[in-house]
Structures are given as structure tokens and as C-alpha cells.
Amino acid sequence: MTDTKRIPAFCAQCRSRCGCTAVVEDGRLTGIEPLPDHPTGAKLCPKGRAAPEQVYHADRLTHPMRRTTPKGAGRTEWERISWDTALDEIARRMGEISRDHGAEQVAFGVTTPSGTHISDGIA
């Protein structure tokens, strides 16, 4: 028998933060449904409803990857690296760019708060 829970939640896939209901079956997220009692939970867009596909998709990246072939080399190849290695390399490279070319050469950008999960970090 399947253990199904319907958990009041909110969608974090854009800054609208729509109220929703997370459907969890045997500990696995299987659906995102509206939460009509929530002020923004009457309807959900396709991106919000696709959360289970995003969580469990076979091609989802769950660890850092380092490119091992130069740009323009044709076939692109990658190798898995640890989070510590990735953070160390990124910090070192950004430090080099800042030191060699000036701090203004380092910038962060997002396309739109409606298209990113990191909108909470946008000042």
C-alpha cells in the first residue's frame, strides 16, 4: 500500500513563490498541485508542476563537472570533481582575474528573477 502525503508548501522555482501542495508517495515527490486556500496557490505554471521531473531526471547534475577539452575542440568532455575542488578552483580563478585585470572584471548575472531558483539572493 502506497503511503501518500499531501504537504502544504510553496514553489521555489521563481520569486512568485506560489503556494502549492507537494504530493509525496513513499517518501518520493511525485506531484505538485495547487493549494487553493493560499493567496497565490489557485493555479500553478508548468514549470512549478514539473518539479518532480526536475528532481529525478536522469540527466540532472548533482555534482560539479570540470571541462577536460578546450573550447572549440569539437567534442566536449567532462570529468566529475568534488565540491571542495570546484569551489577552490573557482575562487582561485576569480582571484586571478580580479588581481590581473581588476575587480570590475568579475560580475554575476541572472536573466530574470522569474527564471531562477536563486532569486532570494538577488539584492
Binding interface with ligand SF4 (CB under 6 A): 11, 13-14, 16-18, 44-45, 47-48
Q: Kindly state the smallest distance separating residue 57's Cβ from ligand SF4, in Å.
A: 16
Q: How many other CB atoms sit within 10 Å of the CB of residue 51?
A: 19
Task: State in angstroms the smallest separation of the CB of 32 from ligand SF4.
Answer: 8
E strands within 1-123?
4-10, 19-25, 28-34, 65-67, 78-80
**Minimum CB distance to ligand SF4 smaller for 95 or for 113:** 113
How far is Cα 33 from Cα 19, in angstroms, rounded to an integer? 9
What residue is closest to ligand SF4 based on CB? 48
Cβ distance to ligand SF4 smaller for residue 46 or 72: 46
- What are φ and ψ of residue 4, in 5° steps? -110, 130
User: Residue 66 forms beta bridges with which residues?
Assistant: 79
Closest separation in Å from C-beta 54 to ligand SF4 = 11
